[in-house]
């Protein structure tokens, strides 16, 4: 499967990864505050934001957003416009991104098998990020890794250490766990 040329995101600084917000405003407010408190400059959203008000909350934090559509978006044009206004890019259904020395493939993950096929194949993709299933996931294969932050979590990627930390917002309390 040919992958597009990667879009460069950043070489430095942590990148937050969120999926399946589904307009849950209380959760989104907590996640947005976490982005500010942790001085995150880049956010990858893996889809199912649904309405523009939700993406606007993330944009107000000042992060540069890279996003893909999920299967539940209602206001696609407005969502894409908000993302693009942050200096980031709304990539439509999927994208290949470059962060530090690593290559990421991002998509919502409706076709769950696609994530595993890319990670197991010889695609030059280091990490496949997806949402859709709402469950926190991190699977390691010989040729790549598959990660899903879950619908109530954030993955935070550190390009210097090439590490992921997972922060769960279940029970209204952020809890961190390392890779």
Q: What CATH number is associated with residue 59?
A: 3.60.21.10
In a domain, 119, yes or no: yes
CB 32 within 8 A of CB 60: yes
Q: Which sign, positive or negative, has the C-alpha torsion 135, 18, 147, 174?
A: negative
In a domain, 145, yes or no: yes
Q: Could you give the number of structural domains in the chain?
A: 1
In a domain, 93, yes or no: yes
In a domain, 1, yes or no: no
Mean pLDDT of all residues belonging to the chain? 91
The predicted-structure confidence for 66-96, as pLDDT tens digits, reads as follows: 999 999 999 999 999 999 999 999 999 999 9
Tokens of 149: 């932050």
Whether pTM exceeds 0.75: yes
In a domain, 179, yes or no: no
In a domain, 103, yes or no: yes
Q: Domain range spanning residue 117? A: 7-167
Compute the average pLDDT of residues 134-149: 94
The predicted-structure confidence for 96-120, as pLDDT tens digits, reads as follows: 999 999 999 999 998 878 998 999 8
CB 67 within 8 A of CB 95: no
Confidence of residue 122 (pLDDT cuts 50, 70, 90): confident
d(Cα 83, Cα 99) in Å, to the nearest integer? 18
- Predicted confidence at residue 179, as pLDDT, reads 46
- Predicted confidence at residue 85, as pLDDT, reads 94
CB atoms near residue 92 (< 10 Å): 12
Q: Among 176, 22, 6, which residue's Cα sits nearest to residue 95?
A: 6
Report the SS3 class of residue 117. helix
Strand order in the sheet with 42-45: 89-90, 64-67, 42-45, 15-18, 153-158, 163-168, 175-178
Residue owning tokens 């990539």:
91
In a domain, 177, yes or no: no
pLDDT, greater one: 2 or 34: 34
Q: Residue by residue, what is the 3-state secondary structure of 32-48?
A: HHHHHHCCCCEEEECCC
d(Cα 178, Cα 163) in Å, to the nearest integer? 8
- Predicted confidence at residue 84, as pLDDT, reads 94
CB 113 within 8 A of CB 106: no
d(Cα 9, Cα 123) in Å, to the nearest integer? 19
Compute the average pLDDT of residues 127-134: 95
The DSSP output letter for 11 is S
In a domain, 123, yes or no: yes
The predicted-structure confidence for 150-177, as pLDDT tens digits, reads as follows: 999 999 999 999 999 999 996 555 555 5
- Predicted confidence at residue 142, as pLDDT, reads 86
């Amino acid at each position: 499967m040919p992958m597009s040329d990667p879009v460069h995101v950043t070489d430095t600084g942590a990148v937050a990864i969120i999926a399946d917000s589904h307009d849950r405003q209380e959760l989104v407010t907590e996640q947005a505050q976490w982005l500010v408190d942790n001085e995150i400059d880049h956010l990858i959203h893996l889809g199912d934001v649904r309405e523009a008000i939700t993406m606007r909350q993330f944009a107000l934090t000042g992060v540069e957003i890279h996003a893909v559509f999920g299967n539940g978006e209602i206001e696609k044009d407005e969502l894409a416009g908000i993302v693009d206004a942050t200096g980031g890019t709304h990539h439509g259904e999927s994208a290949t991104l470059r962060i530090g020395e690593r290559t990421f493939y991002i998509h919502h993950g409706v076709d769950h098998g696609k994530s595993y096929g890319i990670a197991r194949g010889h695609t030059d993709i280091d990490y496949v990020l997806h949402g859709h299933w709402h469950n926190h996931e991190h699977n390691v294969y010989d040729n790549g890794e598959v990660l899903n932050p879950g619908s109530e979590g954030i993955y935070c990627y550190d390009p210097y250490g090439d590490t992921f930390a997972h922060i769960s917002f279940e029970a209204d309390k952020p809890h961190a766990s390392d890779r």
